[in-house]
A and B are shown apart, each in its own frame.
Chain A
Amino acid sequence: MNTSAQPVAETQASAGSPILAFLRTVFVRAGVLPFFLVAALIIFTLASTQFLSVQNLTNVARQSVYLILVSLGQMLVLITGGFDLSVGTAIALTSVVSATAMVAASGMFPDAVWLVIALGLAAGFGSALLIGTLNSIGIAGFSVSPFIMTLGVQSVGAGIALFITGGVPVSGLPYEFGEFFGFGRIFGVPVPVLVALLAIAAMWILMNRTRTGAQIYAVGGNIKAAHLSGINTRRTLFIAYVVCALLASLAGILLTARVESGETNLGGTIALESIAACVIAGVSLRGGIGRVESVVLGAFFIVLVQNGMNIMQIGSYMQMVLLGSLLVLAVVIDQLRYRMLVGSR
């Protein structure tokens, strides 16, 4: 009966070769991402000589900043066992609200540029805070399913953003805003990359070194068990959804600075992309499982694939098909991994 408690990975591994056993261990530990990453690198390197250049990879790293930020937030929510379809709206609303606020404020304080920018940032984060709060009130307070709640809020937010702007991009932002947050460098490092690095570090600490992080894992692992362990599950869900919206909002600020105007169409596909990045990085859709460093790599992978497809001159329509397929494939494989992890009945 001692064998009864052997992890599946080990019992099955003993039958195969050591390489297969190693691959199986990697799969159970880290998920599908290492395999996808290696496959993508091989395919794109074979397809184009431009792909594996320092310049291109640096480019990918810079482009992936926005998706990394959003995916980190999405990861939080996924770990609690929910998900957030309203991250795109958080980006669009942040963009529109912060831009509108800055335009209005620069009329009032034409000489204090940084005050104007600060007001813009506050307004942008404030709107995201509202979205996160709304989501968590519905989900934690009224037990609305995360799918319906965030889907509804996504529509509400998008509607408000369009209402504010009438669908026209908000221009006339302070020059310094785009200059610093969009294209600035500190010690030679682009500001968006720096922001992302800070966010990654903060999230890593949150998830690995604080009680709140442990509680987020617990709520997703088994919300009833968490409740019985004395955890305030509502507060935990609230934190997850608000931080998720704020991280999306941060991406929204950086994107606004990059395009130098407030746009309602920013972040249109990012909900799908961020969920894909998380799932491919081994975040379980059942909650309770997920690692910050893997998610960063997962977001990087998605952008890498998009970049590779661009280099291979695959059209954007076909890219949508491939991205969707990749997501479904990742979920199917995640199912397999969960069974190996938990041990099927």
Chain B
Amino acid sequence: MTGSAIPLVEMTGITKTFPGVKALDGVSFTLMPGEVHVLFGENGAGKSTLISILSGVYPQTAGTLMLNGDAVSFASVGDAKKNGVAAVFQEFSLVPTMSVAENIYLGSEPKRGPFTDKGAMRRGAEKLFADLGFPIDVRRSVVSLSRAEQQMTEIAKAIHSEARILILDEPTASLTERETETLFRIVREAKARGVGIVYISHRIQEFSQIADRITVLRDGKLIGTVGVDALSPKALVEMMTGRAIDEIYPTIARKPDGDVLLSIRGLKAWGVGGVDIDVRAGEVLGVAGLVGSGKSRTWRAAVGLLPIKAGSVTLKGKDVTHAPTRRFVGDGVFYLPPDRKSEGLMLSATTRRNIDLGALERDEASGFLGALSPAKLRTITDGIARRVDIPENYMGRAISTLSGGNQQKALFGKGFGRDYDLYIFDEPTVGVDMGTRAALYRLIKELAEAGKAVVVISSDLPEAMNLAHRLVVFSAGRISAELEGDAINEETILASFFSHERPDA
């Protein structure tokens, strides 16, 4: 990694605009042979856009891309692959109905005469997996694999293509500690062969183990590129967010000994293996865990979105196990879904109509003969919009034309349509800029301090840690730790991510 070497990748002044949105603004990025270069930034900072350009998903609007000193432009992902760029995205590019081996060889099937040679495929894939140390039967179909196994298959596929530039987008998000170790070993081996690796991760603690340099992006702009040991984790986070941590997270007063509103006992569901939780009024319960740990599924099962196999759910003293979701809504539970596009919003409808939906059942919205009064509904919705701070001129627009932050505010707004007692926020700030985050956190503070029970399920560890009065950590479908107050700290939580037993039980 000397300065005189020709960089594998040299991106200069890369700008990418989507209709109405500038996703990248003059970003430069270099990758040397044998280097692991971390891209660090919040959701929506432009990391995905940058690697999408590098891997040929779409072209840049402006700027140059050079590989080994030659200017190139990729017409397609296949084009980029031919030039030695392989990417492992968070959204997998595997064909679920085909076997692991078939997926590895997809597009480059070995042939015997005019026919594909299934035997050679199987043997080749088995050797590859043995070399990598991934214990997966290559004859299994991808649909039967766990998320971690799919992740391994995806990585194996990229390694198999003998790429010189390997892009890993949050590869450890769904891996266990041991699998992560294996991945790091593979990364180091690839590195030794002179492969350049672009590594996207939110886990600062991983950087010192494998990274060489870190490039920080924020709001589509390059903030800086630093050596891995140049900055403390805290400084990195402040560089990423652009402000001190204390400014973002409000201090939320806790109401002591609030009533238990929701009580979950021995809950079992698909991916959830026996969970006990009490949710109290006037307190923020944080819920942390990796993808697939059951942290989200538990709550989805509790409010009737997933089938419950065993256990009980009690709401305000009444047994509501197996009750339909609409009963929870009627009884004062608001659930904010993690994916606002698929579950939260009517994308082609206006912002107003979306917020209206949360307030429809209000008696104040009734007019003549109990019929819906558009004028009264409008008054209610305007009030909600002011409360969640959506500008008035956005109300008549299709909500899909709004920024992610404003969409999320509208989704929060649906929670103010009725008088709820319990708020379950599943990933409340995903893909939302810092300013909006701070605003949403203030709303959470208001709710908790008004005596509501608030649950914050988050993959963003600082968020879960800083908002929670009490924090439960999920691992492998169970609660692996329950922490309160000062006991909530990063090391304990991270350790609990991978443990399968409750330490105090």
A4 to B18: give the CA distance in the assembly, Å: 9
Structural contact, B20 and A11, CB atoms closer than 8 A: yes
Taking a contact as CB atoms closer than 8 A, the residue among A1, A211, A284, A341 that contacts B372 in the complex is: A211
Q: How far is the CB of B109 from chain A (nearest CB, A)?
A: 32
| B342 is an interface residue with CB less than 8 A from chain A | yes
Structural contact, B20 and A217, CB atoms closer than 8 A: no
A344 to B398: give the CA distance in the assembly, Å: 12
Query: Which of A47-55, A95-103, A221-229 touches B?
Result: A221-229
A211-B361, A217-B353 known; A224+B348 contact, CB < 8 A: no
Q: Residues 333-376 of chain B: 1 if any A CB is under 8 Å from the residue's CB, otherwise 0?
A: 00101000011111111000110111011000000000111100
Structural contact, A205 and B326, CB atoms closer than 8 A: no
Q: How far is the CB of A230 from chain B (nearest CB, A)?
A: 3
Taking a contact as CB atoms closer than 8 A, the residue among A229, A284, A343 that contacts B401 in the complex is: A343
Q: How far is the CB of A334 from chain B (nearest CB, A)?
A: 11
A229 to B348: give the CA distance in the assembly, Å: 17
| A258 is an interface residue with CB less than 8 A from chain B | no
A215 to B119: give the CA distance in the assembly, Å: 55
Residues in B with CB closer than 8 Å to A218 are 346, 357
A221 to B345: give the CA distance in the assembly, Å: 8
| A310 is an interface residue with CB less than 8 A from chain B | no
A103 to B403: give the CA distance in the assembly, Å: 64
Q: How far is the CB of A318 from chain B (nearest CB, A)?
A: 36
Residues in A with CB closer than 8 Å to B329 are 228-230
Structural contact, A227 and B325, CB atoms closer than 8 A: yes
Q: How far is the CB of A284 from chain B (nearest CB, A)?
A: 7
Structural contact, B337 and A5, CB atoms closer than 8 A: no
The B interface is mostly helix, strand or loop, or mixed, namely mixed
Q: Residues 229-243 of chain A: 1 if any B CB is under 8 Å from the residue's CB, otherwise 0?
A: 111100000000000
- From A343, which residue of chain B is reached at the shortest CB distance? B401
- Which of A6, A209, A225 is packed against the most chain B CB atoms within 10 Å? A225
| A62 is an interface residue with CB less than 8 A from chain B | no
Structural contact, B356 and A214, CB atoms closer than 8 A: yes
- From B349, which residue of chain A is reached at the shortest CB distance? A221
A3-B20, A5-B401, A11-B20 known; A229+B414 contact, CB < 8 A: yes
Residues in A with CB closer than 8 Å to B402 are 5
Residues in B with CB closer than 8 Å to A210 are 371-372
Q: How far is the CB of B446 from chain A (nearest CB, A)?
A: 22
Interface size class of B (residues with CB under 8 A): 35 or more
A231 to B358: give the CA distance in the assembly, Å: 10
- From A11, which residue of chain B is reached at the shortest CB distance? B20
Q: How far is the CB of A283 from chain B (nearest CB, A)?
A: 12
| B105 is an interface residue with CB less than 8 A from chain A | no
**Chain A positions 189-220 with a Cβ under 8 Å from a chain B Cβ:** 205, 208-211, 213-215, 217-218
A5-B403, A208-B374, A228-B335 known; A289+B348 contact, CB < 8 A: yes
Q: How far is the CB of A13 from chain B (nearest CB, A)?
A: 14
A211-B372, A227-B325, A343-B20 known; A5+B394 contact, CB < 8 A: yes
Residues in A with CB closer than 8 Å to B18 are 345
A7 to B400: give the CA distance in the assembly, Å: 9
A210 to B366: give the CA distance in the assembly, Å: 9
Q: How far is the CB of B82 from chain A (nearest CB, A)?
A: 26
Structural contact, B346 and A222, CB atoms closer than 8 A: yes
- From A212, which residue of chain B is reached at the shortest CB distance? B372
- From A229, which residue of chain B is reached at the shortest CB distance? B357
| A108 is an interface residue with CB less than 8 A from chain B | no
| B406 is an interface residue with CB less than 8 A from chain A | yes
A288 to B373: give the CA distance in the assembly, Å: 20
| B397 is an interface residue with CB less than 8 A from chain A | yes
| A19 is an interface residue with CB less than 8 A from chain B | no
User: Chain A interface (Cβ within 8 Å of chain B)?
Assistant: 1, 3-8, 11, 205, 208-211, 213-215, 217-218, 221-222, 224-232, 284, 286, 288-289, 338, 341-345
12 A-B residue contacts at CB 8 Å?
A8-B401, A209-B374, A214-B357, A218-B357, A222-B343, A225-B344, A227-B325, A228-B343, A229-B357, A229-B414, A342-B348, A345-B18
Given A5-B20, A284-B348, 15 other A-B residues pairs in contact with their CB atoms under 8 A? A4-B20, A5-B402, A6-B401, A8-B20, A8-B401, A211-B360, A218-B346, A218-B357, A225-B354, A228-B344, A230-B329, A288-B346, A288-B349, A289-B348, A338-B348
The 9 A-B residue pairs whose C-beta atoms are closest, nearest first, are A221-B346, A230-B329, A224-B343, A230-B326, A4-B20, A342-B400, A209-B371, A222-B346, A343-B401
